[in-house]
């Protein structure tokens, strides 16, 4: 029977954990189950058989972490291991089906006596050292091995986003249209993946992706939290939903991580999950054949556990009114928007930056942006400084938030706190690297890159801020690589919810023409960066010390070492005015970066 037909008729019971159960059997927390495909064949086969005898009608190949980065293998070694894992799973199925006593619980299989083998693929770790195209190619290599072995069911599990999956599901379907594809995601207790994507958004994407026939959630959380998250969701029509929680949460005991033996609690929560309309249930980390048997005995002997799926009202149906964001409204009204960046102080003295902000009130400034410890050197927190500046001046503010300094927990807390205090605009950036002289004592966090953080804010808008969302923009590094790659990255940020972009400072004719091409090819708003240089020394420093900013020689030649401060500022203002004039035909506004917070320059610059 085809797996699709099986799922239409009754619930599917999957197996439980491989890695933690394998370690438990070998009494070795450091044992890597994937290597067991080569060194412990009989152990792997017996684990598969134990799960089937417990009631599992779908088993996963022992290949969750069978990638080169995790196992340190060559492509050839990886291919051999994956082939062996698939063959061991098929062998286990064949041997069990021949046993007269299988299955012990005949009602579990409705007389079908069939077990499905899912080609199990976990996420390849990303640490920034391996190009994305190489990671995608390795995923495709893994799929090819399974396809060559005859794989029909593909289970991508414990993923945190769809970035590679959208390509991979099409890749598999092109090679094998009848393949059945399942995509499962790992959530935290709040219902978000590590990339900030909500459970609701995941199900919506599964529903929209025709190549994905089933999907849901596994790992990360215990059965109780899995139920609490699922009961708040709309389960998509026309897709089969999987739920495979952990046994619970591990505890440290005699220098070992152990999971509690709580099969009864797990079973009861799985029954509640089934009553929500979930189609397939099983276990992940910490679960054993005992968990699956306990669950199967309860569920498969009870024909009442298939629940109806509920339908929830969306934002429009719920009557939530979305409030207007004044800054973004300026874009909609075709106004040339003016944003001015101020750097927070290095110390606890804020008088100077507040005074600068007050001077900007009369210059037509629409928004003050607050940098987040630029150059990797500590300053007053950008969000807190922006809040104080807004409270004391009444000016609109847009703090920068970078990925360098905060982990996921701190980032979420900061965004929630900013929202509660009235922040509705953010500039999301990856962040400057830590200066080399501080890297021995200071480390960058980078749980996200800017696109991942944008997706996280996008999900927070959906889940928490739908009535008055945060409008956020991103950085546009227009001089980085081929223009097609720049545009591709902009489009990824737009897909992640970015509404506008702020560029690096523009100086050369080449920069202007490059930006004009970019603006003609993307549907977004662009604030072009303007930096009036204020001295010969300042101009040379920016040209030679700051990467990503291209200062032509003709600009340097406009300055002299013996120029007065006033004279040099007028030169910088005149150059800025000329650049603005050249940008005016396509720029949606201007983003001023004033050296040393010299806001008096705004009175000297002509904004078109």
CATH number at residue 400: 3.20.20.220
Whether 428 and 456 map to the same domain: the answer is yes
Whether 9 and 50 map to the same domain: the answer is yes
- Six-digit token string for 105: 């619980």
Whether 374 and 397 map to the same domain: the answer is yes
**SS3 string of 520-579?**
HHCCCEEEEEECCCCCHHHHHHHHHHCCCCCCCHHHHCCCCCCCCHHHHHHHHHHHHHHH
Q: Is residue 383 part of a domain?
A: yes
What is the edge-to-edge ordering of all strands in the sheet holding 153-159?
Answer: 12-13, 280-281, 240-246, 214-222, 180-185, 153-159, 116-121, 58-60
- The predicted-structure confidence for 571-595, as pLDDT tens digits, reads as follows 999 999 999 999 999 999 999 999 9
- Six-digit token string for 90: 């098929």
- The predicted-structure confidence for 135-171, as pLDDT tens digits, reads as follows 999 999 999 999 999 999 999 999 999 999 999 999 9
Q: Is residue 342 part of a domain?
A: yes
Provide CB contacts within 8 A for 255, sequence distance 6+.
Answer: none
pLDDT of 322 above 80: no
Whether 331 and 307 map to the same domain: the answer is no
Q: What is the mean pLDDT of residues 42-63?
A: 97
Whether 375 and 487 map to the same domain: the answer is yes
Q: Among 312, 344, 376, where does a domain finish?
A: 312
CA distances from 53 to 43, 90, 161, 429, 457 (A): 15, 15, 34, 52, 45
CATH number at residue 144: 3.20.20.330
Provide CB contacts within 8 A for 562, sequence distance 6+.
Answer: none
Residue span of the structural domain in which 570 resides: 326-603
Q: Is residue 320 part of a domain?
A: no
Mean pLDDT over the full length of the chain:
90
Q: In 60-113, which residue ranges form alpha helices assigned H by DSSP?
A: 68-71, 75-98
Helix, strand, or coil (residue 482): coil
Q: What's the CA gap between 374 and 367, in Å, rounded?
A: 19
- The predicted-structure confidence for 386-420, as pLDDT tens digits, reads as follows 999 999 999 999 999 999 999 888 999 999 999 99
- Residues annotated within a binding site for Zn(2+): 219, 284-285
Our CA dihedral for 257, 263, 264, 270, rounded to 10 degrees, sits at 100
Whether 143 and 208 map to the same domain: the answer is yes
Whether 373 and 473 map to the same domain: the answer is yes
- Residues annotated within a binding site: 219, 284-285
Of 7, 431, 20, nearest to 246 by C-alpha is 20
- Six-digit token string for 352: 């100077």
Q: Is residue 608 part of a domain?
A: no
Q: Is residue 478 part of a domain?
A: yes
Whether 427 and 458 map to the same domain: the answer is yes
Q: Is residue 318 part of a domain?
A: no
Q: What's the CA gap between 285 and 307, in Å, rounded?
A: 26
Q: Is residue 319 part of a domain?
A: no
Whether 555 and 517 map to the same domain: the answer is yes
What pLDDT is recorded for position 309?
A: 59
First-to-last C-alpha distance (Å) of the chain? 70
pLDDT of 316 above 90: no
Q: What's the CA gap between 399 and 368, in Å, rounded?
A: 8
Q: Among 248, 282, 312, where does a domain finish?
A: 312
What pLDDT is recorded for position 434?
A: 81
Whether 287 and 408 map to the same domain: the answer is no
Query: Do 375 and 337 meet the contact criterion of CB atoms below 8 Å apart?
Result: no
Q: Is residue 45 part of a domain?
A: yes
- Six-digit token string for 146: 């399974």
Whether 61 and 91 map to the same domain: the answer is yes
Q: What is the mean pLDDT of residues 305-324?
A: 50
- The predicted-structure confidence for 246-305, as pLDDT tens digits, reads as follows 998 877 555 556 666 789 999 999 999 999 999 999 999 999 999 999 999 877 655 444
Q: What's the CA gap between 124 and 101, in Å, rounded?
A: 39
- Six-digit token string for 229: 């998250």
pLDDT of 432 above 90: no
Helix, strand, or coil (residue 398): strand
Whether 436 and 300 map to the same domain: the answer is no
Provide CB contacts within 8 A for 604, sequence distance 6+.
Answer: 532, 569, 570, 573
pTM of this structure: 0.76
Q: What's the CA gap between 150 and 312, in Å, rounded?
A: 40
- How many structural domains are present in the chain? 2
- The predicted-structure confidence for 102-133, as pLDDT tens digits, reads as follows 554 444 444 556 899 999 999 999 876 788 89
pLDDT of 474 above 60: yes
Of 547, 596, 536, nearest to 572 by C-alpha is 536
Q: Among 312, 335, 351, where does a domain finish?
A: 312
């Amino acid at each position: 029977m085809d797996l699709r037909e099986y799922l239409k008729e009754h619930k599917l019971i999957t197996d439980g954990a491989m890695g933690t159960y394998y370690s438990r059997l070998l009494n070795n927390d450091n044992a890597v189950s994937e290597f067991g495909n080569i060194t412990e064949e009989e152990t792997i086969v017996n684990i598969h058989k134990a799960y089937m005898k417990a009631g599992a009608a779908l088993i996963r190949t022992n290949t969750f972490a069978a990638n080169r980065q995790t196992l340190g293998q060559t492509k050839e070694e990886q291919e051999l291991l994956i082939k062996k894992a698939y063959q061991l799973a098929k062998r286990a199925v064949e041997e069990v089906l021949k046993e007269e006593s299988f299955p012990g619980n005949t009602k579990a299989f409705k007389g079908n006596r069939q077990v499905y083998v899912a080609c199990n693929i976990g996420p390849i770790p990303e640490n920034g050292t391996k190009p994305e195209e190489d990671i995608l190619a390795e995923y495709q290599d893994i799929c090819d091995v399974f396809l060559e072995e005859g794989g029909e069911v593909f289970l991508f599990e414990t993923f945190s986003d769809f970035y590679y999956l959208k390509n991979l599901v099409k890749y598999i379907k092109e090679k094998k249209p009848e393949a059945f594809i399942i995509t499962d995601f790992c959530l935290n207790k709040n219902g978000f993946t590590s990339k900030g994507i909500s459970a609701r958004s995941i199900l919506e994407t599964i529903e929209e992706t025709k190549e994905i026939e089933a999907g849901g959630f596994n790992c990360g959380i215990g059965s109780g939290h899995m139920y609490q998250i699922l009961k708040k969701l709309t389960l998509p029509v026309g897709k089969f939903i999987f739920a495979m929680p952990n046994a619970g949460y591990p505890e440290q005991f005699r220098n070992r991580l152990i999971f509690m033996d709580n099969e009864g609690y797990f079973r009861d929560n799985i029954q509640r999950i089934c009553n929500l309309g979930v189609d397939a249930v099983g276990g992940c980390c910490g679960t054993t054949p005992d968990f699956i048997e306990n669950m199967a005995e309860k569920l498969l002997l009870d024909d009442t556990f298939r629940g109806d799926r509920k339908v929830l009202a969306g934002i429009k149906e719920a009557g939530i009114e979305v409030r207007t964001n004044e800054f973004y409204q300026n874009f909609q009204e075709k106004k040339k928007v003016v944003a001015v960046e101020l750097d927070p102080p290095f110390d606890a003295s804020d008088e100077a930056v507040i005074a600068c902000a007050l001077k900007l009130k009369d210059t037509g400034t629409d928004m003050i942006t607050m940098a987040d410890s630029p150059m990797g050197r500590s300053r007053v927190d950008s969000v807190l400084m922006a809040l104080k500046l807004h409270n004391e001046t009444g000016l609109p503010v847009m703090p920068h938030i970078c990925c360098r300094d905060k982990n996921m927990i701190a980032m979420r807390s900061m965004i929630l706190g900013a929202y509660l205090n009235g922040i509705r605009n953010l500039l999301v950036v990856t962040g400057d690297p830590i200066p080399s002289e501080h890297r021995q004592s200071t480390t960058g966090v980078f749980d996200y890159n800017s696109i991942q953080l944008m997706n996280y804010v996008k999900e927070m808008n959906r889940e928490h801020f739908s009535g008055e969302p945060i409008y956020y923009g991103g950085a546009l590094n227009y001089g980085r690589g081929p223009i097609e790659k720049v545009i591709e990255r902009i489009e990824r940020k737009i897909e992640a919810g970015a509404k506008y972009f702020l560029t690096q400072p523009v100086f050369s004719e080449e920069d202007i023409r490059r930006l004009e091409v970019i603006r003609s090819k993307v549907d977004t708003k662009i604030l072009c960066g303007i930096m009036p240089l204020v001295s010969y020394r300042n101009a040379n420093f920016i040209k030679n010390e700051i990467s990503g900013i291209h200062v032509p020689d003709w600009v340097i030649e406009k300055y002299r070492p013996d120029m007065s401060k006033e004279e040099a500022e007028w030169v910088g203002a005149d150059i800025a005015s000329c650049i603005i004039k050249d940008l005016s035909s396509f720029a949606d506004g201007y983003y001023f970066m004033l050296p040393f917070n010299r806001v008096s320059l705004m009175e000297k610059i002509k904004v078109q």
